[in-house]
Amino acid sequence: MTTGSPHTPGPDESVTDLDVVVVGAGFGGIYMLHHLQQLGFSARVLEMGDGVGGTWYWNRYPGARCDVPSLEYSYGFSKELQLEWEWTEIMPAQEEIEQYLNHVVDRFDLRGDIQLGTRVTAATYDEGRARWLVETDSGERFSASFCVMATGCLSAPTVPEVPGRDSFQGRILQTSMWPREGVDLSGLRVGLIGTGSTGVQATPEIARDAAHLYVFQRTATYSFPAYRGMIDPELQATFKANPDDFRRQQRETFAGVAGFGGALGPAAPPTRRILDTPVEERMAVLDQEGFWAARTWADVLVDLEANEAGSELFREMVRRTVHDPEVAEALSPRGYPIGCKRLVFGVDYFEAFNRDNVTLVDLHKGAIESITPTGIQTGQGHYDLDVIVFATGFDAMTGALNRIDICGRGGRLLREEWSGGGRALFGLQSHGFPNMFLITGPGSPSVLANMVVGIEHHVEWIGDCLIYLRDHGCHTIEPTLEAQDAWVAHVNEVSEGTMYTAPTCNSWYVGANIPGKPRVFMPYAGGLPAYIERADASASAGYEGFTIG
Ligand code: NA7
């Protein structure tokens, strides 16, 4: 199908009428539903999973954990919620976030309007009626004035096509679709493919259980030590004494992380420059403080030469940690700057390779050729396995939307409109798709900032917009092409000169992990405050840059 045409349901087709259909029941969809209810709109959330939580429902692999502190990575919209809920760990594990989101759903009585086990397959705009027709995998249809896609930035998993996959007689698992009942890996030979955030978190956990773990590494990772530990009750009490102030600070902070208390306290920006520090002194700093790219050195994340000096220090840290020099060398990242990919945080990742039951398979010495009935065949030999785990990432930012047949004004398909990269004004709405809102869409800070802070901003912006339309007797809103083009140009401009867009940087931020995906840097790198100021200024000016009808 290359173009779609508006479909008006016939009289015999049953259609549920709503003000708003929300797709996805993660952090975005849950708050959107609550907010819409508060504003008096009828809404239903359609969610593919059999439970709520989005990312935190699906990613239940061993070691799955957030790398933003729990007090930061939580809703600020309800003071009561913040006072009631007690976080236990500084960095929340998947389970705790999933419990939290379930609590929110029950606390605000949202479950009745969340339809689980429902995959949205198509959304078609009927221009004459100014309504979206949303269709699901079970053939259900919903008609709504507005559609909010809360589909997530890292929710469309990718698994490489490896020949022979179906022949494997053991078990194949994927980290982002880990069985809810868990998996007992004890006594088994496990092959883990992928060493991004997921692979780094899973490695030490799987190593603890499996008889043997083979880690298949294509690109060595800059993995930094993650915080672990329980939240100091005093710290939590201080937070609860004034949560609003803290949430305001978050929105005023570049990455939406205010820095709160204890080890996570407001980190003064570093002033020490690696290029101005003699090599022996750099080593002394490494001895005393370990290696924290952004916290230790002022220049490592802003200057490519300083970055390479930082990389060398990082490699020294790996050499000091990993006993086998050959393995240490293979685990040492080279050829791309620190910070070009999403920073990875792990506990005992490099240490895991000192265990007798962990083997690094450096794919530079022979790539994966096929999956056989008994394991993985590489250019350097065959590995006998009982379980293969794919931790191979996601079609980020645009993948989840492009997998739905979204058909806008004049029969245009979103995935075709976005064939050269995702385009949306403020990451909130795309030209040609009136009344469809995106939460953390391409062109929003999204994955470069605390997701929850960005999500809350978007939800409230969308709510204000719907109220504005209602109050002004209007029915449609859509960005102008000019305003959208200008925003995309601005998004590109602010990413120039950053590590994200360095020529040697191949990350999911630029779509490099998906064969054929255009190389476009997708999130907004100008920081949350600048973003919020611009998006809110448009709203205050009567939605400047948008056409309202
Ligand atoms: P990532 O960061 O995209 O990592 C995927 C990993 O899988 C990465 O090491 C890839 O190597 C590897 N990969 C992908 N395809 C292959 C094939 N065909 N062969 C071998 N290795 C492969 O995904 P994650 O799930 O770890 O993290 C995603 C985000 O979630 C993370 O950034 C946080 O924001 C949370 P490559 O580097 O491409 O050589």
- The reply to whether ligand 1 has any atom less than 6 angstroms from the CB of 393 is yes
Question: Which ranges in 349-450 belong to alpha helices (H)?
Answer: 349-352, 399-402, 414-417
Judge whether 225 and 347 are in contact, CB under 8 Å: yes
| Minimal-distance CA residue to ligand 1 atom 30 | 197
DSSP string, 213-235: EEEEESS---EEEPP--BPPHHH
Contacts with 167 (C-beta within 8 Å, 6 or more apart), sequence order? 371, 372, 373
Atom of ligand 1 nearest to the CA of 194: 7
- The reply to whether ligand 1 has any atom less than 6 angstroms from the CB of 193 is yes
Is a pLDDT exceeding 60 seen at residue 514?
A: yes
Q: What percent of the chain has pLDDT over 70?
A: 95
- The reply to whether ligand 1 has any atom less than 6 angstroms from the CB of 198 is yes
Residue at token pair 């939406």: 256
pLDDT band, residue 214 (cuts 50/70/90): very high
| Minimal-distance CA residue to ligand 1 atom 35 | 197
Rounded distance, CA 356 to CA 327, Å?
13
- The reply to whether ligand 1 has any atom less than 6 angstroms from the CB of 498 is no
For position 296, what pLDDT does the model report? 84
pLDDT digits (tens, 9 = 90+) for 366-386: 999 999 999 999 999 999 999
The phi and psi torsions of 211 (rounded to 5 degrees) equal -65, -45
Q: Is 61 helix (H, G, I), strand (E, B) or coil?
A: coil
For position 293, what pLDDT does the model report? 60
Residue at token pair 């255009």: 518
For position 217, what pLDDT does the model report? 98
Is a pLDDT exceeding 60 seen at residue 9?
A: no
For position 260, what pLDDT does the model report? 67
| Minimal-distance CA residue to ligand 1 atom 15 | 392
pLDDT band, residue 267 (cuts 50/70/90): low
pLDDT band, residue 10 (cuts 50/70/90): low
Q: What's the gap in Å between 270 CA and the centre of ligand 1? A: 30
Is a pLDDT exceeding 50 seen at residue 242?
A: yes
Q: What's the gap in Å between 70 CA and the centre of ligand 1? A: 24
pLDDT band, residue 295 (cuts 50/70/90): confident
pLDDT band, residue 288 (cuts 50/70/90): confident
pLDDT digits (tens, 9 = 90+) for 94-143: 999 999 999 999 999 999 999 999 999 999 999 999 999 999 999 999 99
- The reply to whether ligand 1 has any atom less than 6 angstroms from the CB of 195 is yes
Q: What's the gap in Å between 92 CA and the centre of ligand 1? A: 22
Q: What's the gap in Å between 338 CA and the centre of ligand 1? A: 16
Which mutation among 513, 514, 522 tests ligand 1's pocket best, with the greatest number of atoms within 8 A of CB? 513
Rounded distance, CA 183 to CA 174, Å?
12
Judge whether 20 and 434 are in contact, CB under 8 Å: no
For position 4, what pLDDT does the model report? 43
Put residue 55 in one of left, alpha, beta given phi > 0 → left and psi -120 to 50 → alpha: alpha
- The reply to whether ligand 1 has any atom less than 6 angstroms from the CB of 197 is yes
- The reply to whether ligand 1 has any atom less than 6 angstroms from the CB of 194 is yes
Is a pLDDT exceeding 60 seen at residue 13?
A: yes
Q: What's the gap in Å between 391 CA and the centre of ligand 1? A: 6
| Lowest mean pLDDT across 9-13, 114-118, 188-192, 401-405 | 9-13
For position 287, what pLDDT does the model report? 84
For position 418, what pLDDT does the model report? 97
- The reply to whether ligand 1 has any atom less than 6 angstroms from the CB of 376 is no
Residue at token pair 């309800």: 78
For position 8, what pLDDT does the model report? 56
Judge whether 480 and 547 are in contact, CB under 8 Å: yes
pLDDT digits (tens, 9 = 90+) for 335-363: 999 999 999 999 999 999 999 999 999 99
Q: What's the gap in Å between 169 CA and the centre of ligand 1? A: 25
Q: What's the gap in Å between 484 CA and the centre of ligand 1? A: 31
| Minimal-distance CA residue to ligand 1 atom 36 | 219
| Minimal-distance CA residue to ligand 1 atom 16 | 392
pLDDT band, residue 270 (cuts 50/70/90): confident
Q: What's the gap in Å between 206 CA and the centre of ligand 1? A: 17
Maximal C-alpha separation, the chain:
79
pLDDT digits (tens, 9 = 90+) for 496-505: 999 999 999 9
Q: What percent of the chain has pLDDT over 90?
A: 89
The mean pLDDT value for 142-153 works out to 98
For position 6, what pLDDT does the model report? 47
pLDDT digits (tens, 9 = 90+) for 196-209: 999 999 999 999 99
pLDDT band, residue 263 (cuts 50/70/90): very low
pLDDT digits (tens, 9 = 90+) for 521-538: 999 999 999 999 999 999
Atom of ligand 1 nearest to the CA of 195: 9
| Minimal-distance CA residue to ligand 1 atom 17 | 160
User: How high does pLDDT run on average in the chain?
Assistant: 94
pLDDT digits (tens, 9 = 90+) for 58-94: 999 999 999 999 999 999 999 999 999 999 999 999 9
Is a pLDDT exceeding 80 seen at residue 491?
A: yes
Judge whether 394 and 155 are in contact, CB under 8 Å: yes
Is a pLDDT exceeding 90 seen at residue 487?
A: yes
pLDDT digits (tens, 9 = 90+) for 216-237: 999 999 999 888 899 999 989 9
Cα angle: 64, vertex 312, 278; to 5 degrees: 130
Stated pTM of the model:
0.96
